[in-house]
């Protein structure tokens, strides 16, 4: 019985092997026929990057490295469909290569095909079971595809690895939430957040589970943290994927790198990148425009001015260009010129709350209070959630003696009670006091002081305390 079963087993295994090889070869033939690029349809920069690898593939169509390398360039340029075709071919030629399976999985994720990504991640991990980034992606893809049990097994293992523990714990939390086990989900997500507190997505998941448990106030607080931290996400080393990103050195890639450097606070690095773009293409108005802001932030007024003039000469219609120039001029206290710059920004984009607000501040400096008030009101009309502009409306109204109006405006910015709120509450208190409503003024000033202390603004709290003493 055993021997007959063994024979049956061998037959089954052989059949599977034959079938899978047949399928692979069939797919390979199909994808080889399909792997045609119309290079002439691509813009110059990508065409230049694709030309050599594509020639290489045409010369060596059965060379897995050649085909895979073309896939990497296509992936670097976010040409997902053709990258997938190239990797499919490379896999058929070299089915035991980790890189092609893994990179194809990454591409399939971008094509929102988690089931297909799962298949390639499994293959990749058979070759390199220790590659953490692949394990994380597989666990995530299984979760996205609704295969919770297998995803749970993977996340549990990841939670035991120092590099991946936050991701493992968060994954387990998401699975528990999907199963409706929100108490346990909250615990798991909080464990993840203890390891990586600035994780917007985790705070969001936490919020939903807290809401499901009826803990709405805590859920709201978690949502605020989600907004605060945005898309920050704990990474794991991924040298295979990183090597793909490094393939590009075109202007768009350098733009992205420059913006990333600027976001991280490396202004000089960002400047260097934008200057390198201009070294290749002096007509990039966007690079000139970006440098106005960056040089302005570093205090290099001359260079900022130079790039502003260059952008204008190129016919740049960016409202932000004139706005940033206005800010730079303001920092140099060149108020008249700054005013003109803001007006140019508004002429291009009339719905520009920051430009209206800043213009209002210059007009206020010039003691043109009614025009300043009009600009502040425009800023608020363009963006009713612009609390600073509404504070300025309130201040102007207080200065003009229109206290009831000031109170009405300032009442609208007392919520949320965040770190900005103390000065809004203080302004409201001032309006009440000036309107002769001292008790209400004292109450709001007291609230403002407490809130300032809560958020660690001792200086503001002290100033409010001094005013309270005067009022009393």
Partner 1 sequence: MRLLALFFLFLWLPPLGGSTPQLPPKGGSHGVFVESAAAAGLNFTHITGATGQYYVAEEMGAGVALFDYDNDGDLDVFLVQGGPLNDKSPADTPGYPTSRLFRNDLTRGPDGKPRLHFTDVTSQAGVALRAYGMGAAIGDYDNDGDLDLLVTSFGPETLFRNNGNGTFTDVTKEAGVSDPLWSTSATFFDYDRDGDLDLFVANYLDFTIAGNKKCTDTAGAPDYCGPRNYRPVPDRLYRNDGNGHFTDVTESSGISRADGAGLGVVAGDYNNDGWLDLYVANDATPNQLWINRKDGTFVDEGPLSGSALNAAGNPEGSMGIASGDFDADGDEDLFVTNIIGETFVLYKNDGAGNFEDSRVQTGLGPLTTTVTGFGTDWFDYDNDGWLDLFVANGAVNAIESQRGQPNPFKMKNQLFHNTGSGRFVDASSSGGPAFEQAEISRGAAFGDIDNDGDTDIVVTTNGGPVRLLMNQGTPGNHWIDVALQDSPRNRFGFGARIGIERTGKPTLWRRVHTDGSYLSASDVRAHAGLGSSTSIDGIVVQWVDGMRERWTKVDADRLVTLKRGTGVKQ
By C-beta, is 94 or 145 nearer to partner 1?
A: 145
| Residue 128 binding partner 1, by CB under 8 A | no
Q: Could you tell me the smallest distance in angstroms from the CB atom of residue 164 to partner 1? A: 17
Minimum separation from the CB atom of position 468 to partner 1 (A) = 30
Residues within window 283-302 making contact with partner 1, judged by CB under 8 A: 286
Toward partner 1, which CB reaches closer, 387 or 449?
387
Would you give the distance in Å from CA 137 to the centre of its chain? 19
Binding residue (CB under 8 A) for partner 1 from 29, 52, 216, 466: 216
Residue 136 makes CB contacts below 8 A (sequence gap 6+) with 158, 164, 167, 236
Q: How far is the CB of 287 from partner 1 (least distance, A)?
A: 12
Four-residue CA torsion sign, 420, 422, 425, 427: negative
Task: Tell whether residue 235 is a contact of partner 1 (CB under 8 A).
Answer: no
Of positions 174, 254, 395, 423, contacts partner 1 by CB under 8 A: 174
User: CA-CA distance, 466 to 145, in Å (whole number)?
Assistant: 61
Contact predicate 199/233, CB 8 Å: yes
| Rounded Cα distance, 243 and 72, in Å | 9
Helix runs in 230-350, H state only: 239-245, 251-263, 267-280, 285-298, 301-313, 319-331, 335-348
Segment contacting partner 1 (CB under 8 A): 90-98, 187-195, 220-228, 463-471? Answer: 220-228
Residues 6+ apart with CB under 8 A from 289: 307, 311, 316, 318, 320, 321, 324
**Segment contacting partner 1 by CB under 8 A, of 128-136, 202-210, 303-311, 425-433:** 202-210
CB of 409 to partner 1, least distance (A): 10
Q: Looking at 42, 301, 335, 369, which residue binds partner 1 (CB under 8 A)?
A: 42
Q: In this complex, which beta carbon is closest to partner 1, that of residue 133 or of residue 464?
A: 133
Q: Rule CB under 8 A: which of 351-370 touch partner 1?
A: 351-352
Tokens of 355: 């430009």
Q: Is 5 in the site for partner 1 (CB under 8 A)?
A: no
Rule CB under 8 A: is residue 414 a binding residue for partner 1? no
Distance CA 167, CA 192 (A): 7
The torsion angles phi and psi of 253, rounded to 5 degrees, stand at: -65, -40
**Residue 185 touches partner 1, criterion: CB under 8 A:** no
Preceding peptide of 301 cis, ω within 30° = no
Which residues have C-beta within 8 Å of that of residue 217, sequence separation ≥ 6?
none
- Between residue 429 and residue 468, which ones bind partner 1 under the rule CB under 8 A? none
Scanning 120-128, 145-153, 236-244, 305-313 for contacts with partner 1 by CB under 8 A, the matching segment is 145-153
Looking at 383, 417, 434, 437, which residue binds partner 1 (CB under 8 A)?
383
Cα gap 156→65, rounded to integer Å: 35
Q: For the window 315-354, what string marks contact with partner 1 as x by the rule CB under 8 A?
A: --xxx---------------------------xxxxxx--
Q: Which two tokens stand for residue 236?
A: 């794991």
Are 272 and 131 in contact by the 8 Å Cβ rule? The answer is no
CA distance 8 to 1: 10
CB of 440 to partner 1, least distance (A): 21
Q: Which is nearer to partner 1, 97 or 284 (CB)?
A: 284
Q: How far is the CB of 345 from partner 1 (least distance, A)?
A: 9
- 386-405 residues in contact with partner 1 (CB under 8 A) are none
Write the interaction track for partner 1 spanning residues 63-102; mark x where CB under 8 A is met and - where it is not.
--------------xxxxxx--------------------
The residues near 271 (Cβ < 8 Å, ≥ 6 apart) are 291, 294, 295, 298
Q: Which is nearer to partner 1, 157 or 347 (CB)?
A: 347
Backbone CA torsion sign across 232, 236, 241, 244? positive
Q: Which is nearer to partner 1, 333 or 385 (CB)?
A: 385
- Name the minimum Å distance from CB 160 to partner 1: 24
Measuring CA to CA, how many Å separate 154 from each of 139, 158, 159, 391?
Answer: 6, 6, 9, 52
Rounded Cα distance between 253 and 234, Å, is 23
Nearest approach, Cβ of 174 to partner 1 (angstroms)?
Answer: 7
Residue 218: CA count within 13 A, CB half-sphere: 12
Between residues 52 and 110, which has the closer beta carbon with respect to partner 1?
110
**Binding site residues, partner 1, CB under 8 A:** 11-12, 15-16, 19, 38, 40-46, 77-82, 110-113, 115, 144-147, 174, 200-201, 203-205, 207-208, 211-212, 216, 219-220, 223, 226, 231, 250, 252, 286, 317-319, 347-352, 382-385, 412
């Amino acid at each position: 019985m055993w021997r007959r079963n063994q024979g049956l087993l061998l037959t089954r295994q052989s059949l599977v092997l034959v079938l899978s090889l047949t399928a692979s070869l069939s797919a390979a033939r199909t994808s080889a026929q399909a792997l045609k690029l119309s290079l002439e349809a691509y813009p110059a920069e990508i065409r230049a990057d694709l030309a050599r690898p594509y020639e290489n593939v045409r010369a060596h169509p059965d060379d897995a490295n050649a085909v895979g390398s073309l896939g990497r360039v296509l992936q670097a340029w976010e040409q997902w469909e053709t990258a997938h075709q190239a990797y499919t071919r490379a896999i058929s030629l070299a089915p035991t290569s980790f890189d092609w399976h893994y990179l194809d999985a990454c591409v399939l994720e971008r094509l929102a095909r988690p089931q297909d990504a799962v298949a390639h991640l499994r293959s990749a991990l058979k070759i390199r079971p220790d590659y953490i980034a692949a394990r994380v992606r597989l666990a995530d893809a299984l979760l996205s595809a609704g295969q919770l049990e297998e995803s749970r097994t993977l996340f549990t293992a990841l939670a035991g690895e120092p590099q991946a523990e936050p991701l493992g714990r968060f994954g387990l939390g998401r699975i528990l939430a999907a199963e409706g086990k929100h108490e346990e989900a909250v615990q798991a997500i909080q464990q993840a957040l203890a390891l990586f507190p600035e994780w917007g997505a985790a705070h969001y998941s936490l919020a939903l589970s807290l809401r499901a448990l009826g803990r709405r106030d805590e859920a709201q607080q978690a949502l605020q943290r989600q907004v605060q931290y945005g898309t920050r996400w704990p990474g794991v080393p991924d040298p295979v994927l990183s090597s793909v990103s490094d393939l590009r050195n075109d202007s768009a890639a350098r733009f992205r790198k420059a913006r990333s450097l600027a976001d991280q606070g490396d202004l000089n690095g960002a400047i260097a990148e934008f200057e390198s773009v201009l070294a290749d293409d002096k007509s990039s108005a966007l690079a000139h425009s970006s440098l106005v802001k960056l040089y302005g932030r570093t205090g290099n007024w001359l260079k900022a001015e130079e790039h502003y003039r260059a952008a204008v000469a190129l016919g740049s219609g960016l409202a932000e260009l004139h706005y940033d120039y206005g800010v730079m001029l303001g920092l140099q206290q060149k108020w008249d010129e700054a005013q003109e710059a803001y007006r140019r920004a508004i002429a291009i984009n009339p719905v520009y709350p920051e430009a209206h607000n800043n213009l209002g501040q210059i007009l206020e400096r010039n003691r043109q209070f009614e025009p300043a008030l009009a600009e502040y009101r425009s800023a608020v009309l363009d963006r009713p959630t612009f609390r600073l502009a509404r504070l300025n409306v309130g201040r102007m109204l207080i200065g003009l003696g229109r206290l009831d109006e000031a109170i009405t405006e300032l009442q609208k910015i007392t919520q949320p009670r965040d770190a900005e709120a103390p000065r809004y509450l203080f302004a409201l208190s001032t309006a009440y006091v000036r309107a002769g409503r001292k008790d209400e003024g004292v109450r709001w000033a007291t609230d403002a002081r407490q809130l300032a202390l809560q958020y660690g603004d001792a200086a503001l709290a002290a100033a409010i305390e001094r005013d309270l003493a005067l009022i009393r």
